[in-house]
Structure 1
């Protein structure tokens, strides 16, 4: 059986945003219903290279399909300067659960960007006001585009306010998306006042204040992925309906990790995990809600869901390169 090799361009070509958002929503539902297996990330520390490897395996049984896979991802901060390579790279192996045949080997970096955007879209669909038309982006890096593309599948976004200290990055973003949306540069406060705001920065000192956020704004906190990272003011988190992707990951390395470790924010301040909201075991946005926050750390089930969609599209539309990786007996 052939295995598809899908590089960055192929993953980009094979990503159909509505399908990826739907699949990631199905993954959260499967996780909430006990129809997924997702062992904790495992780490290999390499201090001699100032880097590490992480493995993220998962299996999920979703509506109409099941899939398994593992993402092998690194963090080598010296790569750009010393080797002209990215700090973070990922490779995803997507497998047939029944036979264990590797159906595809995918660029995990592009896949991660896509599934992260899709997670924010799932959260936005359940937690943002139904008539949301404005999106604030705090951070104009590569994830900002994925946030816009994905969220625009669940809300009729018209206006985009982008806040970033790098004016060139904002200009590049406007060039990329200005033909489809009304994009303008703004302050963090202006971005945070939108109907929906996504934060994608690596800061350790909060940059989004409570009084900057609109009365009924939904916030996707996407930037925190390690201990100490923290984008939103504690008082904002305490005043909001907080939904997380996974309790263990978020309390360790998500947006809530700093106030949770300090005891400022407790389990009583966490409304639910997103999967419970998706399946209706916990409420999404209600008429009485003010600010809502989604704390996203990124889950391996999202990678499997996105890989499934990309693989199926690629297989049907002759995207990627087929190779014989498994010898048949």
Structure 2
């Protein structure tokens, strides 16, 4: 908890209500926060969420173009002394049109005691880290002995899913990767093969990946109309499916017939359903991801269950990780002070 009005940070003192610590993406990277630490912070945030010790409204947003969204994501997690808001946007055409990332944004962290902002930071790294952390924490809980994992999407998120799988899923022997752009899949394998404790294989087709994997993840695009790239008839008993892209990539029949449909946030999925992202209707939700991790709700009950666990990203994870970044930056005197 912040108790002083002045914090020694960087070249100048950070005076509450007078200035704010600015952290660029490079600053955040220079802090050296490990994936193991991100997993710990994300697990803590999810468990707090699962035990209903948080305040977080469903995402609000604006949509200048049909495929584009801006989201304001505030949250307060008392147990982690974390409060703030992430402002993030997604432009799927950015890489091709402008050679810019699909997702960019900023995050503000506030002092809980006084309410004043204490940090402004790049949020792309936070998003890229906490999203796959949620996926693999859920995968490890729902399918702890999995030896095979299939990843659809080989961009920044795809690479990080593979890296986090190595951290949290020790039984994995083979990870299959697939991207509509073959070069992206090949680049992922070339970059990661030497550092992974399992074998990386480029999938021949979506069907091949599905039929080869016990656990499946996807980080592609988010669209209102399902692409249904993965056909329902390819899914078999006992598989665990973890989309980060709502209802886009998977055949809606799979989510509707799954033995369990679990989501990170019921409120947010209901909001997306109201906006039209589930044209076939939102499947019946049995639990939230944090409830399963906190053992408040039961996850997998037998080896034949098909489980779909949709995680679209929650601000509780962002502000907990953001608070940890701020604390580390103050400790190591990294960042620049800006006058409010």
Same fold (TM over 0.5): yes
Gaps of 5+ in 2: 1-6, 8-13, 15-19
Q: Name the residue aligned to 1:230.
A: 248
Q: 1:247 to 1:133 in 2, by over 3 A?
A: same
Are positions 1:56 and 2:73 aligned together?
yes
2:258 match: 239
Query: Which residue number in structure 1 is paired with residue 29 of structure 2?
Result: 12
Within 5 Å, which residues of 2 pair with 1:72-91? 72-75=87-90, 85-91=100-106
Describe the shift of the 1:235–1:20 C-alpha distance in structure 2 as closer, same or farther (beyond 3 A).
Answer: same
CA shift for structure 1 position 164: 1.1
Counterpart in 1 of 2:39?
A: 21
Point out the more displaced range, 309-318 or 116-125. Answer: 309-318
TM superposition shift of 1:79: 5.7
Question: In the alignment, what sits opposite 1:147?
Answer: 161
Judging changes above 3 Å, is the alpha-carbon distance between structure 1 residues 76 and 244 closer, same or farther for their aligned structure 2 residues? closer
Aligned to 2:324: 309
Deviations 1:10-42 (CA, angstroms, capped at 9, x unpaired): 333433212222222222222233321112333
The corresponding residue for 1:198 is 217
Counterpart of 1:220? Answer: 242
Name the stretch that deviates more: 197-206 or 76-85: 76-85
Return the match for 2:151 from 137, 142, 145: 137
> What secondary structure, in the 3-state scheme, does the structure 1 residue paired with 2:186 have?
helix
Residues 228-284 of structure 1: CA deviation (Å, up to 9, x unaligned): x52222332213422111123224437xx75x5434x543xx221112212222102
Q: TM-score, normalised by structure 2?
A: 0.80
Distance 1:164 1:323, change over 3 A: same
Q: Is the 8 A contact 1:55 1:70 kept in 2?
A: yes
CA contact (8 A) 1:115 1:303 kept: yes
Q: Measured at CA, do residues 309 and 148 of structure 1 come closer, stay the same or move farther in structure 2, by a change above 3 Å?
A: farther
Aligned length: 310
Alignment counterpart, residue 288 of structure 2, candidates 253, 258, 273? 273
Equivalent pair of 2:178/2:202 in contact (CA under 8 Å): yes
SS of match in other structure, 1:10: helix
Residue 177 and residue 84 in structure 1: after superposition, are their counterparts in 2 closer, same or farther (change >3 A)? closer
Residue 324 of structure 1 and its aligned partner are, at CA, apart by 5.1
- 1:288-311: CA deviation from partner (whole Å, max 9, x where unpaired): 442222101111111112212333
Q: Distance between the aligned counterparts of 1:167 and 1:81, measured in 2?
A: 16
Q: 1:75 to 1:208 in 2, by over 3 A?
A: closer
22-31 or 109-118: which moved more? 22-31
Task: Give 1:96's aligned residue.
Answer: 111
Alignment match, 2:48: 30
Pick closer, same or farther for the CA change 1:244–1:149 going to 2, 3 Å.
same
Aligned-partner Cα distance in 1 for 2:92–2:254: 31
Answering whether residue 134 of structure 2 is matched by residue 112 of structure 1, we say no
Contact 1:189 1:213 (8 Å CA) reproduced: no
Indicate conservation of the 8 Å contact 2:60/2:72, yes or no.
yes
Mapped pair 1:185 → 2:199: no
**Alpha-carbon distance in structure 2 between the residues aligned to 1:249 and 1:201:** 19
Partner Cα separation in structure 2 for residue 199 and residue 52 of structure 1: 19
Offset of 1:120 from its aligned partner? 0.6
Q: 2:185 aligns with which of 154, 170, 175?
A: 170
Q: Given that residues 43 and 53 in structure 1 are in contact (C-alpha distance below 8 angstroms), is that contact kept between their aligned partners in structure 2?
A: yes
The answer on whether the counterparts of 1:94 and 1:103 sit within 8 Å (CA) in structure 2 is yes
Show structure 1 runs of 5+ residues with no match: none
